Structure 1
Protein backbone atom coordinates (compact mmCIF):
# COMPACT_ATOMS: atom_id res chain seq x y z
CA UNK A 1 0.00 0.00 0.00
CA UNK A 2 1.13 3.51 -0.79
CA UNK A 3 -0.36 6.70 0.67
CA UNK A 4 -0.75 9.32 -2.05
CA UNK A 5 -1.39 13.06 -1.80
CA UNK A 6 -3.61 14.97 -4.22
CA UNK A 7 -1.30 18.01 -3.96
CA UNK A 8 1.78 15.95 -4.89
CA UNK A 9 0.32 13.99 -7.80
CA UNK A 10 2.74 13.05 -10.58
CA UNK A 11 2.13 14.75 -13.95
CA UNK A 12 1.19 11.45 -15.62
CA UNK A 13 -1.99 11.41 -13.49
CA UNK A 14 -3.08 14.96 -14.37
CA UNK A 15 -4.79 15.92 -17.64
CA UNK A 16 -5.21 19.56 -18.67
CA UNK A 17 -7.18 20.89 -21.62
CA UNK A 18 -6.30 24.09 -23.44
CA UNK A 19 -9.40 25.70 -21.86
CA UNK A 20 -8.41 25.09 -18.27
CA UNK A 21 -10.32 21.88 -17.55
CA UNK A 22 -8.16 19.75 -15.28
CA UNK A 23 -8.71 16.13 -14.28
CA UNK A 24 -6.71 14.44 -11.57
CA UNK A 25 -6.82 10.64 -11.93
CA UNK A 26 -6.62 9.67 -8.26
CA UNK A 27 -7.82 6.09 -8.75
CA UNK A 28 -5.16 5.42 -11.37
CA UNK A 29 -2.47 6.96 -9.19
CA UNK A 30 -3.54 4.75 -6.26
CA UNK A 31 -3.74 1.59 -8.39
CA UNK A 32 -7.52 1.17 -8.31
CA UNK A 33 -8.77 -1.56 -10.65
CA UNK A 34 -12.58 -1.62 -10.37
CA UNK A 35 -13.28 2.05 -9.66
CA UNK A 36 -12.08 5.23 -11.24
CA UNK A 37 -11.79 8.23 -8.94
CA UNK A 38 -11.21 11.64 -10.51
CA UNK A 39 -11.31 15.24 -9.42
CA UNK A 40 -12.41 17.58 -12.21
CA UNK A 41 -11.76 21.31 -12.06
CA UNK A 42 -13.90 23.34 -14.46
CA UNK A 43 -13.17 26.99 -15.14
CA UNK A 44 -15.99 29.59 -15.49
CA UNK A 45 -17.89 29.34 -18.78
CA UNK A 46 -16.75 25.80 -19.61
CA UNK A 47 -18.21 22.28 -19.66
CA UNK A 48 -16.88 19.19 -17.89
CA UNK A 49 -17.25 17.01 -21.00
CA UNK A 50 -19.54 16.48 -23.97
CA UNK A 51 -23.11 15.52 -23.08
CA UNK A 52 -23.00 11.70 -22.93
CA UNK A 53 -24.33 8.46 -21.43
CA UNK A 54 -22.60 5.18 -20.58
CA UNK A 55 -24.04 1.76 -21.35
CA UNK A 56 -22.49 0.03 -18.31
CA UNK A 57 -20.63 2.58 -16.23
CA UNK A 58 -22.33 3.78 -13.06
CA UNK A 59 -21.13 7.13 -11.73
CA UNK A 60 -21.26 9.17 -8.52
CA UNK A 61 -20.56 12.90 -8.32
CA UNK A 62 -19.84 15.07 -5.28
CA UNK A 63 -19.56 18.84 -5.72
CA UNK A 64 -16.41 19.75 -3.82
CA UNK A 65 -16.22 23.45 -4.58
CA UNK A 66 -18.28 26.14 -6.28
CA UNK A 67 -21.54 25.79 -8.14
CA UNK A 68 -22.81 25.10 -11.62
CA UNK A 69 -25.38 23.26 -13.68
CA UNK A 70 -25.83 19.55 -14.21
CA UNK A 71 -27.58 18.63 -17.43
CA UNK A 72 -29.30 15.29 -17.01
CA UNK A 73 -31.60 13.76 -19.63
CA UNK A 74 -32.25 17.15 -21.19
CA UNK A 75 -33.09 18.96 -17.94
CA UNK A 76 -30.78 21.32 -16.06
CA UNK A 77 -30.30 21.28 -12.29
CA UNK A 78 -28.39 23.77 -10.18
CA UNK A 79 -25.75 22.07 -8.04
CA UNK A 80 -23.41 23.50 -5.43
CA UNK A 81 -20.80 22.53 -2.86
CA UNK A 82 -21.89 19.49 -0.83
CA UNK A 83 -24.46 18.21 -3.36
CA UNK A 84 -23.99 14.62 -4.54
CA UNK A 85 -25.63 12.65 -7.35
CA UNK A 86 -25.64 9.00 -8.35
CA UNK A 87 -26.04 8.30 -12.06
CA UNK A 88 -26.97 4.75 -13.07
CA UNK A 89 -25.72 3.30 -16.34
CA UNK A 90 -27.88 3.43 -19.43
CA UNK A 91 -28.37 5.33 -22.65
CA UNK A 92 -31.23 7.31 -21.16
CA UNK A 93 -28.98 8.77 -18.43
CA UNK A 94 -27.05 11.38 -20.39
CA UNK A 95 -25.19 13.94 -18.30
CA UNK A 96 -22.81 16.89 -18.33
CA UNK A 97 -21.72 19.69 -15.98
CA UNK A 98 -21.36 23.37 -16.86
CA UNK A 99 -19.72 26.11 -14.83
CA UNK A 100 -22.09 29.07 -15.12
CA UNK A 101 -20.42 30.93 -12.22
CA UNK A 102 -17.42 33.23 -11.90
CA UNK A 103 -15.52 30.78 -9.67
CA UNK A 104 -13.80 27.43 -10.11
CA UNK A 105 -16.20 24.46 -10.06
CA UNK A 106 -14.69 21.24 -8.67
CA UNK A 107 -16.26 17.78 -8.77
CA UNK A 108 -15.31 14.40 -7.34
CA UNK A 109 -16.24 11.89 -10.05
CA UNK A 110 -16.26 8.21 -9.05
CA UNK A 111 -17.45 5.34 -11.20
CA UNK A 112 -17.18 1.71 -12.11
CA UNK A 113 -14.50 0.68 -14.59
CA UNK A 114 -16.33 -1.15 -17.38
CA UNK A 115 -14.13 -2.69 -20.06
CA UNK A 116 -16.98 -3.03 -22.59
CA UNK A 117 -18.74 0.27 -21.87
CA UNK A 118 -20.17 2.08 -24.88
CA UNK A 119 -20.49 5.82 -24.61
CA UNK A 120 -23.33 7.58 -26.48
CA UNK A 121 -23.27 11.31 -27.32
CA UNK A 122 -26.90 12.26 -28.06
CA UNK A 123 -26.20 15.83 -29.25
CA UNK A 124 -23.84 14.49 -31.89
CA UNK A 125 -25.48 11.11 -32.61
CA UNK A 126 -22.10 9.51 -31.95
CA UNK A 127 -20.96 6.36 -30.19
CA UNK A 128 -17.57 5.69 -28.65
CA UNK A 129 -16.73 1.99 -28.56
CA UNK A 130 -13.45 0.82 -27.04
CA UNK A 131 -11.65 -2.21 -28.40
CA UNK A 132 -8.57 -3.27 -26.43
CA UNK A 133 -8.35 0.26 -25.06
CA UNK A 134 -8.43 1.90 -28.49
CA UNK A 135 -11.40 4.25 -29.06
CA UNK A 136 -13.57 3.91 -32.17
CA UNK A 137 -16.25 6.48 -33.03
CA UNK A 138 -19.43 5.71 -34.94
CA UNK A 139 -22.08 8.09 -36.24
CA UNK A 140 -25.67 7.12 -35.54
CA UNK A 141 -27.85 7.78 -38.55
CA UNK A 142 -30.97 5.74 -37.92
CA UNK A 143 -31.20 3.85 -34.68
CA UNK A 144 -33.50 0.84 -34.89
CA UNK A 145 -35.15 0.24 -31.53
CA UNK A 146 -37.10 -2.88 -32.56
CA UNK A 147 -34.53 -4.68 -34.73
CA UNK A 148 -33.75 -8.28 -33.70
CA UNK A 149 -30.71 -10.40 -34.41
CA UNK A 150 -32.90 -13.50 -34.71
CA UNK A 151 -32.86 -14.47 -38.45
CA UNK A 152 -36.24 -16.16 -38.11
CA UNK A 153 -38.19 -13.09 -37.08
Structure 2
Protein backbone atom coordinates (compact mmCIF):
# COMPACT_ATOMS: atom_id res chain seq x y z
CA UNK A 1 0.00 0.00 0.00
CA UNK A 2 1.31 3.44 -0.95
CA UNK A 3 1.67 6.00 1.81
CA UNK A 4 0.03 9.34 1.24
CA UNK A 5 2.46 12.08 0.19
CA UNK A 6 2.79 15.19 2.29
CA UNK A 7 3.85 18.62 0.99
CA UNK A 8 6.05 19.10 4.09
CA UNK A 9 9.02 17.06 5.31
CA UNK A 10 10.92 17.58 8.53
CA UNK A 11 14.40 16.14 7.84
CA UNK A 12 14.93 15.51 11.56
CA UNK A 13 12.00 13.06 11.46
CA UNK A 14 13.41 11.02 8.56
CA UNK A 15 15.09 7.71 9.25
CA UNK A 16 18.59 7.74 7.78
CA UNK A 17 20.10 4.59 6.29
CA UNK A 18 23.71 4.02 7.34
CA UNK A 19 25.95 2.21 4.87
CA UNK A 20 29.68 1.69 4.37
CA UNK A 21 31.69 0.33 1.45
CA UNK A 22 35.39 -0.33 1.92
CA UNK A 23 37.51 2.25 3.74
CA UNK A 24 36.58 5.38 1.72
CA UNK A 25 32.81 5.33 1.12
CA UNK A 26 30.29 5.86 3.91
CA UNK A 27 27.12 7.85 4.51
CA UNK A 28 23.91 8.16 6.45
CA UNK A 29 21.27 9.23 3.95
CA UNK A 30 17.69 9.13 2.80
CA UNK A 31 15.76 9.95 -0.38
CA UNK A 32 12.46 11.67 0.22
CA UNK A 33 11.15 13.19 -3.03
CA UNK A 34 8.42 10.54 -3.25
CA UNK A 35 7.27 11.41 0.30
CA UNK A 36 6.62 14.92 -1.02
CA UNK A 37 4.58 13.55 -3.93
CA UNK A 38 7.35 14.32 -6.46
CA UNK A 39 7.71 11.84 -9.32
CA UNK A 40 10.38 13.42 -11.53
CA UNK A 41 12.52 15.25 -9.00
CA UNK A 42 14.75 13.36 -6.60
CA UNK A 43 15.60 14.90 -3.25
CA UNK A 44 17.84 13.46 -0.59
CA UNK A 45 19.64 14.33 2.60
CA UNK A 46 23.10 12.95 3.39
CA UNK A 47 25.65 12.98 6.18
CA UNK A 48 29.17 11.90 5.22
CA UNK A 49 31.71 11.25 8.02
CA UNK A 50 35.12 12.93 8.12
CA UNK A 51 37.55 11.56 5.53
CA UNK A 52 34.84 9.76 3.52
CA UNK A 53 32.92 10.20 0.27
CA UNK A 54 29.23 9.42 -0.22
CA UNK A 55 29.56 7.97 -3.72
CA UNK A 56 32.13 7.14 -6.39
CA UNK A 57 33.29 9.80 -8.87
CA UNK A 58 30.67 9.67 -11.66
CA UNK A 59 28.91 11.60 -14.41
CA UNK A 60 25.36 11.43 -15.73
CA UNK A 61 24.51 11.57 -19.42
CA UNK A 62 20.89 12.66 -18.84
CA UNK A 63 20.18 13.65 -15.25
CA UNK A 64 21.35 16.84 -13.58
CA UNK A 65 22.17 17.19 -9.89
CA UNK A 66 22.43 20.04 -7.43
CA UNK A 67 23.89 19.89 -3.92
CA UNK A 68 23.39 22.37 -1.08
CA UNK A 69 25.94 22.18 1.72
CA UNK A 70 24.23 22.59 5.10
CA UNK A 71 27.06 21.86 7.54
CA UNK A 72 30.69 20.79 7.43
CA UNK A 73 33.55 21.22 5.00
CA UNK A 74 34.55 19.26 1.98
CA UNK A 75 36.10 19.09 -1.44
CA UNK A 76 33.87 18.98 -4.49
CA UNK A 77 35.72 17.02 -7.14
CA UNK A 78 34.30 18.14 -10.49
CA UNK A 79 35.94 17.02 -13.74
CA UNK A 80 39.66 17.77 -13.42
CA UNK A 81 39.12 20.43 -10.74
CA UNK A 82 38.67 20.43 -6.96
CA UNK A 83 36.73 23.08 -5.05
CA UNK A 84 36.67 23.65 -1.29
CA UNK A 85 33.06 23.88 -0.12
CA UNK A 86 31.20 24.70 3.08
CA UNK A 87 27.84 25.74 4.53
CA UNK A 88 25.66 27.68 2.10
CA UNK A 89 27.56 26.60 -1.02
CA UNK A 90 25.46 25.34 -3.93
CA UNK A 91 27.10 22.85 -6.30
CA UNK A 92 25.95 22.01 -9.80
CA UNK A 93 26.49 18.78 -11.70
CA UNK A 94 25.10 19.13 -15.23
CA UNK A 95 24.66 16.16 -17.53
CA UNK A 96 27.63 15.45 -19.76
CA UNK A 97 30.74 13.34 -20.11
CA UNK A 98 33.71 12.84 -17.80
CA UNK A 99 34.24 16.62 -17.72
CA UNK A 100 31.13 16.79 -15.47
CA UNK A 101 32.05 13.81 -13.27
CA UNK A 102 31.67 14.70 -9.62
CA UNK A 103 31.60 13.65 -5.99
CA UNK A 104 31.89 15.19 -2.53
CA UNK A 105 34.65 14.28 -0.09
CA UNK A 106 34.42 15.30 3.56
CA UNK A 107 37.75 17.00 4.34
CA UNK A 108 36.60 18.43 7.67
CA UNK A 109 36.47 16.93 11.15
CA UNK A 110 32.65 16.96 11.51
CA UNK A 111 29.99 15.24 9.35
CA UNK A 112 29.39 16.89 5.96
CA UNK A 113 25.62 17.43 5.74
CA UNK A 114 23.93 18.31 2.47
CA UNK A 115 20.78 18.18 0.38
CA UNK A 116 20.91 16.60 -3.07
CA UNK A 117 18.37 17.43 -5.75
CA UNK A 118 18.22 15.74 -9.14
CA UNK A 119 16.13 15.31 -12.20
CA UNK A 120 14.93 11.72 -12.50
CA UNK A 121 15.11 10.58 -16.08
CA UNK A 122 13.28 7.46 -17.22
CA UNK A 123 16.53 6.29 -18.82
CA UNK A 124 20.05 7.13 -17.65
CA UNK A 125 23.65 6.24 -18.40
CA UNK A 126 26.32 7.00 -15.77
CA UNK A 127 30.07 6.65 -16.19
CA UNK A 128 32.61 6.07 -13.42
CA UNK A 129 35.92 7.47 -14.76
CA UNK A 130 38.07 6.20 -11.87
CA UNK A 131 37.04 2.57 -12.35
CA UNK A 132 36.09 2.46 -16.04
CA UNK A 133 32.54 1.25 -15.31
CA UNK A 134 29.21 2.42 -16.66
CA UNK A 135 25.64 2.07 -15.39
CA UNK A 136 22.62 1.78 -17.67
CA UNK A 137 19.18 1.96 -16.06
CA UNK A 138 15.54 2.63 -16.82
CA UNK A 139 12.69 3.26 -14.43
CA UNK A 140 8.97 3.70 -14.63
CA UNK A 141 8.16 7.39 -13.99
CA UNK A 142 6.83 7.79 -10.48
CA UNK A 143 8.62 4.70 -9.19
CA UNK A 144 11.98 4.79 -7.45
CA UNK A 145 13.06 1.24 -8.29
CA UNK A 146 14.76 0.66 -11.63
CA UNK A 147 13.06 -1.61 -14.14
CA UNK A 148 16.41 -2.41 -15.77
CA UNK A 149 19.83 -1.83 -14.20
CA UNK A 150 23.20 -2.98 -15.52
CA UNK A 151 26.70 -2.09 -14.35
CA UNK A 152 29.60 -3.19 -16.52
CA UNK A 153 32.60 -2.21 -18.55
CA UNK A 154 32.77 -1.62 -22.30
CA UNK A 155 35.12 -4.63 -22.64
CA UNK A 156 32.13 -6.91 -21.93
CA UNK A 157 30.18 -5.58 -24.94
CA UNK A 158 28.92 -8.09 -27.50
CA UNK A 159 28.05 -7.73 -31.17
CA UNK A 160 24.53 -6.47 -31.96
CA UNK A 161 23.61 -9.85 -33.51
CA UNK A 162 25.21 -12.00 -30.79
CA UNK A 163 22.84 -14.75 -29.63
CA UNK A 164 20.03 -13.85 -32.02
CA UNK A 165 18.25 -16.86 -33.63
CA UNK A 166 19.30 -17.32 -37.24
CA UNK A 167 21.98 -14.61 -37.11
Fold conserved between structures, TM > 0.5: yes
Q: Is 2:110 the counterpart of 1:96?
A: no
Q: How many residues align?
A: 139
User: Match for 1:76 among 79, 82, 88?
Assistant: 82
Q: Is 2:34 the counterpart of 1:28?
A: yes
* Alpha-carbon distance in structure 2 between the residues aligned to 1:65 and 1:135: 33
Cα displacement (A) at 1:6: 1.7
* Alpha-carbon distance in structure 2 between the residues aligned to 1:4 and 1:109: 15
| Cα distance per residue 1:58-80 (max 9 Å; x no partner) | 11111111110000002111000
* Alpha-carbon distance in structure 2 between the residues aligned to 1:47 and 1:96: 7
| Preserved CA contact (<8 Å) 2:26 2:54 | no
| Cα distance per residue 1:82-110 (max 9 Å; x no partner) | 11122211113100100111111011110
- After alignment, is 37-46 or 124-133 more displaced? 124-133
Residue in structure 1 matched with residue 10 of structure 2 by the alignment:
5
| Preserved CA contact (<8 Å) 1:39 1:106 | yes
Residue in structure 1 matched with residue 69 of structure 2 by the alignment:
63
Runs of 4+ in structure 1 over 4 Å off: none
Which consecutive residues of structure 2, in runs of 5 or more, have no partner in the other structure?
Answer: 140-145, 156-167
User: Match for 1:107 among 106, 114, 130?
Assistant: 114
Residue in structure 1 matched with residue 124 of structure 2 by the alignment:
117
| Preserved CA contact (<8 Å) 1:62 1:85 | yes
Cα displacement (A) at 1:28: 2.4
Cα displacement (A) at 1:131: 4.2
| Cα distance per residue 1:129-153 (max 9 Å; x no partner) | 1145132112134xxxxxxxxxxxx
Q: Is 2:13 the counterpart of 1:17?
A: no
When normalised by structure 2's length, the TM-score is 0.76
